[in-house]
Amino acid sequence: MYYGLSNFYQNHRRYVKSRDDSQLNGDTDSLKNPSKECEPYRKDGDKPIAPCGAIANSMFNDTLELFQMNESSLIRVPLHKKGIAWWTDKNVKFRNPPGGNLSEVFKGTTKPLNWPKPVYELDEDPENNGFINEDFIVWMRTAALPTFRKLYRLIEKKGVLHPTLPVGQYLLRITYNYPVHTFDGRKRMILSTISWMGGKNPFLGIAYITVGSICFLLGVVLLVIHHKYGNRNNSADIPN
Amino acid sequence: MFCGEKKLLETERRVKANDREFNEKFQYATNRIHTSKYNILTFLPINLFEQFQRVANAYFLFLLILQLIPEISSLSWFTTIVPLVLVLTITAVKDATDDYFRHKSDNQVNNRLSEVLINGRLQSEKWMNVKAGDIIKLENNQFVAADLLLLSSSEPHGLCYIETAELDGETNLKVRHALPVTSELGADISSLAKFDGIVACEPPNNKLDKFTGDLSWKDNKYPLNNEKIILRGCVLRNTSWCFGMVIFAGPDTKLMQNSGKTTFKRTSIDRLMNTLVLWIFGFLVCMGVILAIGNSIWKHQVGDYFRAFLFQDEVGKNPIFSGFLTFWSYIIILNTVVPISLYVSVEVIRLGHSHFINWDRKMYYAKKETLAEARTTTLNEELGQIEYIFSDKTGTLTQNIMTFNKCSINGRTYGEVYDDLGRKTEINEKTKPVDFSFNPQADSKFQFYDHSLIESIKLGDPKVYEFFRLLALCHTVMPEENNEGKLIYQVQSPDEGALVTAARNFGFIFKSRTPETITVEEMGKIVTYQLLAFLDFNNIRKRMSVIVRNPEGQIKLYCKGADTILFEKLHSSNEELMTVTSDHLSEFGGEGLRTLAIAYRNLNEEYFKEWFKLLEEANRVFDKRDERVAAAYEEIERDMMLLGATAIEDKLQDGVIETITNLSLANIKIWVLTGDKQETAMNIGYSCNMLTDDMNEVFILSGHTAAEVWEELKKAKEILFGRSTGFTNGYAFCEKLQELKLGSTIEETGYALEANLQNEFLEIACICKTVICCRVTPLQKAQVVELVKKHRKAVTLAIGDGANDISMIKSAHIGVGISGQEGMQAVLASDYSFAQFRYLQRLLLVHGRWSYFRMCKFLCYFFYKNFAFTLVHFWFGFFCGFSAQTVYDQWFITLFNIVYTSLPVLAMGIFDQDVNEQNSMDYPNLYGPGQLNLLFNKRKFFICIAHGVYTSFALFFIPYGAFYNVAGEDGKHIADYQSFAVTIATSLVIVVSVQIALDTSYWTVINHVFIWGSIAVYFSILFTMHSDGIFDIFPNQFPFVGNARHSLSQKNIWLVILLTTVVSVMPVITFRFLKVVLYPTLSDQVRQLQKAQDKARPLRGHKRQPRRTSSRRSGYAFAHQEGYGELITSGKNMRVKNLHPTSGLGKTMYNSTSWIENLCKKTTDTVNSFSLDRTVKL
């Protein structure tokens, strides 16, 4: 299950560099004194912002819930929120600052302006809280293009026999926190099945078929031309 | 004239001998030469200043400053400073070494010692401390330190001999003589120290053959002319010592003034490259503007509403201002279209090519142990574009060795070699030369191959005897004995040397001479002849005679000279012999030999006495003396009996003919510029096949006023254009001193006619197949080169060996010096040097062609590569809000040009070749594309750019399409910016590597190593930079942690990379394939042939140009100067010990002072009246 945003310039230069990787890596100095790149989301008053910068500040915070509509009841489709971030991001790039209790560790810092709650309250699970919250990590991996989708949750396969999402009616419940209409943006929710080469992506297939046929055609044409004209040169006298 | 500025400062030079205080008032230059540019302290500032004067360096400095402004810095500063510092350091080191060597050579010259008269004593002083007004002593074979006024010498009458090879390339000795008043000073140091004459003369100038001034001494004024001046660069010969007073020192000397400006030479590719770089700058600005406008619009329509997520500071609020900032940001990002590494790579490639030239064993001359040397490393590819070659003659085309090659005696030729079957054979090393061991005095260097001549001598054929007797008697050679007691000849003209040596080896040994006698050992018997009269050579008479009385009392006149002249003076009984001999002569002439006809006449006593009276009378009168003397000579030189003819070979260097033929086939025009006489020049033209008989038009320009030259040009033009077929076979032979003189006055007067004349000349000369200019001075050589350079826009090459070629070498695009000779000046001024003319063929057709080919390929690829690399940012700009976000990792941008892709393209630029060296030589036509500038020009450039743009388009939009909605294999999101960057970067590296592999036509191990190595290095650096370890150390510098591992393990990504590569490369392959199949170039054809040859190489018969059968043409040529006859008969040039007081008829033919003036007058006459000697042609 993905969420998609369009017309959202996560690749804008000022946006992309507005982060402090040492802070996110759990460096205590950077936590208290974030990099200048984060300006103007570096400090709120005189308290340093954790996590600082525009990327963190604009984190997607709608909640999506999926229900299967039975005749009468709604059955919640189980969504896994762990395992959506890259392994290196989760284990290497993003680290909480050392120390036991997260709320203590982040003491002396303040939450990003747009956030409703501080970073150490993103989740109850300590393995998924603070800087290593996977939703946060996914957001922090900025998209290449203004229209993008990011992995939101996983819907696990139940087995070979049972379809993951059986045919039927589903209900998507969105807790709307994230305004996009100001910049003419669109939000999407995408469900995609994963194959051996990833999610559904028709572009590559079409491109390969096109290029392949062009190559084949060219090959034939060139072969003909070569047979017709190619030998001419071998016998030709070289003027001197 | 470039010394014009000085002229304003110095209108007249006054130098007082032995008075440094007096001379210091004028602050004349000292004798120190200064060619270096820096010293230790000034090196850094001056060098940096110079380097930043280069547009490219200044541009990068500017970029660096831009990057330091945080508002617009889109790239870290290290992306620019790393390459910039690298470039500056490399250049600085190179400049420093160059200057070090200049210092060294300056020091070497400045520290040469000469003996200077200081405070009444001779002291050894370094050259640099010599000042104007000093009196210095020179010894035999010493170089002259400064321009001197000759005061006295060891020889009688203050004569001294100098060799001016360094100045004008002439190797014959020249006579200089002191004023009689000063020559009396002799070697007396004390009187020399008292000498306090004041010389007033012209300011420093570069005219080698002119000097005006006077000497005031003891209340008398003595006029001075060039005959009394010894110039720096000359060598004193045959004179044990002489004293001279320094007039011009150091930079004021004529040698230095003549050396011309050292201009920095640039190749046409260089200039094209600079233009293109400017265009690219323009293009860059355009792209910047487009993106900046895009930014403003985006800001206005999208960005402002996006404020909630993008912070907006005050500067960002105004779209216009934001666009302005974006413009600079994009300039920084897109700067890689003009990569700084371009300049460095070009230099490295040229350096590599230069080393190939230096290491070429096929251009190594074993006899002199001289290697070819590329002295300038920046001109190599221009060697592949030469259209005109200007060649010196003496020492360049010829070896400057005259050999007695053939002769015709009494209607029979000697000198041909026949094999057993009676066929004419080529003389080669295996041919057995005549054994001269019977003659103990024979010169061992002399070789003759025809045994029949020696048999004739042994048989005692009187005509043969007479023939050699004449050769032994009729000349101006001076005999000398060297330390070992062997006889050596001092020759004034090498032709005579060859003739006298030939006579010597055949048993007629010229032993000694006095003013009245000549002693010859004839077949072992000493015979002394009385020299009765000496009828000297001059350019109008074209002959010389001696009248001698042999011991038997017979008076004989011996004459040698041009056949055309001599044949008219023969006795009518010679008719038959004349026909035979003239057949022989034209045969000799056709082979390019220099011929002389020889004849004798028996005189009876009375007739001679009568005639001698006539001559004395003629000599006595002052009015029209020359005419009357000539008439007297004419009177006696008639009714002669023809003896035969000699043929002297002005030996060409090995392989000159083949080289010239091949170069002409390569469509290179060869002009010979020589200071020699017309006949000699013409002979060389024939002997090296530049002139052939099937050239049906011969234009000789020899008028000596503007109008005459104009007429001649007009006539030539009429002939050319009046006939439609006459074009290709025309050739011009021009005596062109005059109109060049006019050419040089144009700058001053600007007469339209003269400007027209220049164009007219050029127009005709360029249609002609061959142009030979004779009697040109060093400066005129340069002017001819400049003329062609200016009006034809052609690439020129000048080749020469002597100091007289320096100006030409310097003004041509490429100067080549022949090394291994005595003088080194030409080599020092040249860009390339080697020992033999024939290496020119290899230099141009192999090295030059390859260099050009490689450089063009390199440039094409380089521009392609950088456009493909950089323009991706441009496309990305449309999708990132024109925010100047880079597509790639910053490290990738830093390393792309200097690490990932530099080596393969360098390897191609250095090693690539389309056809091998043998085929390059065998198919001179392959040289054509270089001359026409086909391989890299503006059109090619645009093709490369279009290719680059296309590639960048594919590189961006295929990943764009693929990333539009992609998910990883595990469903994780991989469409992030960093994965995108890695994908494009990897595709880019692979695409450009595949492209270079396609471009490389000659694979060496190094190419393989570099191409595969680059890809390997790319991946290893990629993984290193994306590794956990380096991230732990510098988390802020390496944010791409884990990216490579994650992205490159996705099949998806690899499919994208593969697709991108195929799409980028496919059109190129198609296009090239079609081109080779449908419109193959010569190079393609030869390549194909070469592939076939590699399997079975057919034996290629050595191409040898057949000697043409000759039409009638006089081969007369004689490098002889007038005036030596008088020297001999007066005995002035003989050592006192040789003077025997013998009585004779010609004892005092002229009074003793007049001959010197006579000589001077005549020598200057020869210089000025060469144009009078019209061509000898049949």
d(CA B909, CA B926): 19
pLDDT confidence band for B1115 (50 / 70 / 90): low
d(CA B1125, CA B1150): 12
- For B490, list phi and psi in degrees, rounded to 5: -95, 110
Q: For the complex shown, is ipTM > 0.90?
A: yes
Q: What is the CATH number of the domain that holds B824?
A: 3.40.50.1000
Structure token pair of residue B331: 């300039």
Average pLDDT over residues B67-92: 79
Ranges of beta strands (E only) in B838-941 are none
Any domain includes B325: yes
The angle formed by the CA atoms of residues B405, B408 and B414, to the nearest 5 degrees, is 55
Q: How far is A48 from chain B (nearest CA, A)?
A: 17
* Chain-centre distance for alpha carbon B310: 67
- B622 vs B962, higher pLDDT: B962
**What are A4's strand-pairing partners?**
A149, A188
Chain B positions touching A192 (Cβ under 8 A) are 967, 971
Under a CB-based contact definition with an 8 Å cutoff, are residues B493 and B462 in contact? no
How far is the first Cα of chain A from the last one, in angstroms, to the nearest whole number? 72
The angle formed by the CA atoms of residues B789, B791 and B792, to the nearest 5 degrees, is 70
Amino acid letter, B963: F
Pairing mode of beta strands B113-118, A47-48: unpaired
Any domain includes B734: no
User: Which of B226, B228, B234, B225 has its CA nearest to residue B208?
Assistant: B226
Inter-chain CB proximity A233 and B1052 less than 8 Å: no
Kindly tell me the burial class for residue B599, based on how many C-beta atoms sit within 10 Å of its own C-beta (0-12, 13-18, 19 or more): buried
Average pLDDT over residues A101-120: 85
Pairing mode of beta strands B730-735, B697-701: parallel
Residue B615 has what pLDDT? 86
pLDDT confidence band for B856 (50 / 70 / 90): very high
User: Which of B1073, B1066, B987 has its CA nearest to residue A216?
Assistant: B1066
Provide the CB-side half-sphere exposure for B464 (13 A, CA). Answer: 18
Chain B positions touching A21 (Cβ under 8 A) are 1035-1036, 1039
Any domain includes B613: yes
Residue B983 has what pLDDT? 92
Any domain includes B955: no
Q: Scanning the structure block, which residue is given the tokens 């019977």?
A: B438
Instruction: Flag whether residue A225 sits within 8 Å of chain B, measured between CB atoms.
Output: yes
Structure token pair of residue B1025: 């930079």
Residue B917 has what pLDDT? 86
Q: What is the CATH number of the domain that holds B600?
A: 3.40.1110.10
Q: Helix (H, G, I), strand (E, B), or coil: what is residue B549?
A: strand
pLDDT confidence band for B1107 (50 / 70 / 90): very low
> What does pLDDT average to over chain B?
78
Ranges of beta strands (E only) in B141-188 are 147-153, 159-163, 174-177
Average pLDDT over residues A226-235: 65
Any domain includes B881: no
Q: Scanning the structure block, which residue is given the tokens 């002849």?
A: B529
Structure token pair of residue B1130: 């007066």
User: Which of B464, B472, B469 has its CA nearest to residue B500?
Assistant: B472
Cα–Cα distances in Å, from B85 out to B12, B92, B345, B415? 51, 10, 15, 69
Q: Which residues contact B158 (CB under 8 A, 6 or more apart)?
A: B150, B151, B152, B177, B178, B179, B180, B182, B183
Helices marked H in B197-267: 254-258
Q: Are B661 and B714 in a shared domain?
A: yes
By annotation, the residues of B acting in catalysis are: 392
d(CA A219, CA A213): 10
Q: Are B304 and B185 in a shared domain?
A: no
Residue A62's CB is within 10 A of a number of other CB atoms, namely 15
Average pLDDT over residues B1029-1050: 83
Query: In B692-729, which positions are buried (b, 16+ CB within 10 angstroms) versus exposed (e)?
Result: beebebbbbbbbbebeebbebbeebeeebeeeeeeeee
- For B14, list phi and psi in degrees, rounded to 5: -120, 120
User: Which of B593, B399, B756, B758 has its CA nearest to residue B1115?
Assistant: B593
Amino acid letter, B798: A
**What are B490's strand-pairing partners?**
B478
Q: Are B245 and B144 in a shared domain?
A: yes
Whether residue B203 has pLDDT greater than 60: yes
Average pLDDT over residues B812-828: 78
Under a CB-based contact definition with an 8 Å cutoff, are residues B701 and B711 in contact? no
Nearest residue in chain B measured CA to CA from A179 = B308
Q: Any binding-site annotation on B662?
A: no
Inter-chain CB proximity A233 and B1088 less than 8 Å: yes
Residue A184's CB is within 10 A of a number of other CB atoms, namely 12
Whether residue B1096 has pLDDT greater than 80: no
Q: Which structural domain range is residue B226 located in?
A: 13-18+130-252
Q: Helix (H, G, I), strand (E, B), or coil: what is residue B1011?
A: helix
Q: Are B467 and B499 in a shared domain?
A: yes
Whether residue B1167 has pLDDT greater than 50: no
Residue B45's CB is within 10 A of a number of other CB atoms, namely 10
Structure token pair of residue B403: 């050999």
Q: Which residues contact A131 (CB under 8 A, 6 or more apart)?
A: A24, A26, A51, A94, A95, A96, A97, A119, A137
pTM metric for this prediction: 0.79
Whether residue B971 has pLDDT greater than 80: no
d(CA A239, CA B1018): 46
User: Which of B692, B679, B509 has its CA nearest to residue B596?
Assistant: B679
pLDDT confidence band for B946 (50 / 70 / 90): very high
User: Which of B1042, B1057, B989 has its CA nearest to residue B1019?
Assistant: B989
Q: Is the dihedral of CA A178, A181, A185, A187 positive or negative?
A: positive
Q: Are B325 and B389 in a shared domain?
A: no
Structure token pair of residue B452: 């029949």
User: Which of B42, B83, B76, B43 has its CA nearest to residue B60?
Assistant: B83
Q: Any binding-site annotation on B1142?
A: no
Please, which residues 189-208 of chain A have a Cβ atom closer than 8 Å to chain B?
190, 192, 194, 196-201, 203-204, 207-208
User: Which of A19, A18, A30, A26 has its CA nearest to residue A131?
Assistant: A26
d(CA B732, CA B678): 12
Q: How far is A105 from chain B (nearest CA, A)?
A: 20
User: Which of B109, B140, B156 is at the close of a domain?
Assistant: B109
Chain A positions touching B1051 (Cβ under 8 A) are 196-198
User: Which of B788, B819, B846 is at the close of a domain?
Assistant: B846
Q: Helix (H, G, I), strand (E, B), or coil: what is residue B1081?
A: coil
Any domain includes B156: yes
Chain A positions touching B74 (Cβ under 8 A) are 13
Any domain includes B169: yes
Average pLDDT over residues B875-900: 87
Angle formed by the axes of helices A202-235 and B938-964, nearest 10° = 150
pLDDT confidence band for B170 (50 / 70 / 90): low
Q: Are B242 and B287 in a shared domain?
A: no
Whether residue A10 has pLDDT greater than 90: no
User: Which of B629, B651, B673 is at the close of a domain?
Assistant: B651
Structure token pair of residue B612: 């001698």
Instruction: Flag whether residue A42 sits within 8 Å of chain B, measured between CB atoms.
Output: no
d(CA B105, CA B111): 10
DSSP letters spanning A114-132: T-SS-GGGS-SSGGGSGGG
Among the ranges given (B430-439, B557-566, B610-619), the one the predictor scored with the smallest mean pLDDT: B430-439
Any domain includes B1138: no
Inter-chain CB proximity A183 and B1066 less than 8 Å: no
d(CA B771, CA B775): 13
d(CA B785, CA A235): 43
Q: What percent of chain A has pLDDT over 70?
A: 95
Cis-peptide, bond into residue A126, ω within 30° of zero: no
Q: Scanning the structure block, which residue is given the tokens 């942690």?
A: B1041
> What does pLDDT average to over chain A?
84
Q: Are B201 and B237 in a shared domain?
A: yes
Q: Are B828 and B686 in a shared domain?
A: yes
Helices marked H in chain A: 13-16, 21-24, 28-32, 54-57, 87-88, 102-105, 134-140, 202-235
pLDDT confidence band for B237 (50 / 70 / 90): confident
Inter-chain CB proximity A16 and B977 less than 8 Å: yes
Count structural domains, chain B.
Answer: 5
Q: Are B765 and B707 in a shared domain?
A: yes
Q: Are B610 and B506 in a shared domain?
A: yes
Whether residue B715 has pLDDT greater than 60: yes
Among the ranges given (B102-106, B306-310, B976-980), the one the predictor scored with the smallest mean pLDDT: B306-310
Under a CB-based contact definition with an 8 Å cutoff, are residues B122 and B220 in contact? no
Nearest residue in chain A measured CA to CA from B300 = A183
For the ranges A235-239, B530-534, B714-718, the maximum mean pLDDT occurs at: B530-534
- Candidates A20, A33, A88: best to mutate against B (most CBs of B within 10 A) is A88
Q: Are B414 and B563 in a shared domain?
A: yes
How far is the first Cα of chain B from the last one, in angstroms, to the nearest whole number? 42
Inter-chain CB proximity A146 and B305 less than 8 Å: no
Under a CB-based contact definition with an 8 Å cutoff, are residues B258 and B164 in contact? no
Nearest residue in chain B measured CA to CA from A232 = B1077
Inter-chain CB proximity B969 and A198 less than 8 Å: yes
Chain B positions touching A58 (Cβ under 8 A) are 308-309
Under a CB-based contact definition with an 8 Å cutoff, are residues B924 and B662 in contact? yes
Q: Are B705 and B659 in a shared domain?
A: yes
